Structure 1
Amino acid sequence: MHPPALAIIGWSNSGKTTLLTRLVPELHQCGLRVGVVKHSSHAHPLHPEGSDTARYTEAGAALVAFATPAGVQLSFPEPPEHVLSLLGRFVDTVDLVLVEGWKHGPLPKLEVWREGLGPLLAPSYPEVLAVVSESPLPEGLPRFTPDEVPALAAFLQQCLRGGLLRAKEGP
């Protein structure tokens, strides 16, 4: 079992990160403990080549932590599709996990869409619960503007209470 989670999807430069940096404190003010995962389809070294932490990973460590006065970064040598099982380890730590990206993943989704960057993704992803956009949308999905963060937070709390923020079951 993993904490309730929602993927924030959209084209590059659509405003996903900006929305998350505004949404997290709003949900926190509502009393929710929110975790955030950045999902990337691009290779990104978690540990710089030759660093101590890279050497621990290469040696087969099941978990590598990098601790500084600013906090602790944990990494697990797991493929991205195992992110939900990893999140299960934190079910008592967070009430909701927001995942930036992972449009092909099994999570319910919130699309951030800006006209001119690419077509609306929601018609191709039935898991999209709502869209954040300045532009009008076809009928059928709730729409919030990027400035309606309190209303979006209230909507997500309703989804959370209604059990809508659970991953679809897969093989």
Structure 2
Amino acid sequence: MIPVILFSGYSNSGKTTVIESVVSELTDRGYDITTVKHHKGDFELGGEEKDSYKHMRAGASRVILSSDTQLVDIVKLESERSLNSIIKGISDADLIVVEGYKSTVYPKIEVYRSELGHKRLGKNRNIVGLVSDESLEEFMPVFNFSEMKKLADFIEDSFLRAKSEEVLSC
């Protein structure tokens, strides 16, 4: 089973920036990372002038964009798919990194900026680590926004090496 780690926090807390840094660091180490980004509402790839948008507007239920270097699959849905359903469809990665879905039960890294004035997400949300702009005393690893290599080390040790050890022991 592919390990999954979520990055959760309030809007503008820095989740995307943290994920970019961690994914870059882990791919530099040779890991194959798949990301899933939760987005509220409709979204477009390229805008109204692009053919994919025109295909969807014309009524296509699915549009697949393919080139020699990328593949994008856009599917119209009657209702939102669960994160579990999305994850079950991923079979070729070392790690799945998810942005959002803070109410799900997967292990999470909370991304917290005190300047936004929000409370922390809470202790019962499967939070295994914290990225914060404050020095906080916690019973979990805490990383400053400048410590992304250390965060990548934590993820590697906690999720990727644990997976490798499981495979070796089989």
TM-score by length of 1: 0.77
Answer whether contact 1:17 1:100 (CA < 8 A) is retained: yes
Q: CA deviation at 1:3?
A: 2.2
What is the one-letter code of the residue matched to 1:51?
A: K
Unaligned runs of 5+ in 1: 164-171
Question: Partner residue of 1:89?
Answer: 89
Q: How many residues align?
A: 154
Structure 2 residue matching 1:116: 3-state secondary structure = helix
Q: Which runs of 4+ in 1 moved over 6 A?
A: 47-50
Unaligned runs of 5+ in 2: 164-170
User: Which is further off, 75-84 or 16-25?
Assistant: 75-84
Q: Distance in 2 between matches of 1:123 and 1:90?
A: 29
Of 39, 42, 47, which aligns to 1:44? Answer: 42
Question: Partner residue of 1:143?
Answer: 142
1:111-130 aligned at under 5 Å gives the runs 111-117=110-116, 118-125=118-125, 127-130=126-129
The structure number with the bigger radius of gyration is 2
- 1:34-89 CA-to-partner distances (Å, cap 9, x unmatched) read 0111102x2123577872134221xxx5xx31235662211345554433333333
Structure 2 residue matching 1:56: 3-state secondary structure = coil
Q: CA deviation at 1:156?
A: 0.3
Question: Partner residue of 1:73?
Answer: 72
1:145-160 aligned at under 5 Å gives the runs 145-160=144-159
- RMSD over aligned Cα atoms: 2.4
Answer whether contact 1:3 1:88 (CA < 8 A) is retained: no
- 1:78-136 CA-to-partner distances (Å, cap 9, x unmatched) read 55443333333332x211111111101221100110103211114242x1010001202
Q: Distance in 1 between matches of 2:88 and 2:65?
A: 21
Question: Partner residue of 2:168?
Answer: none
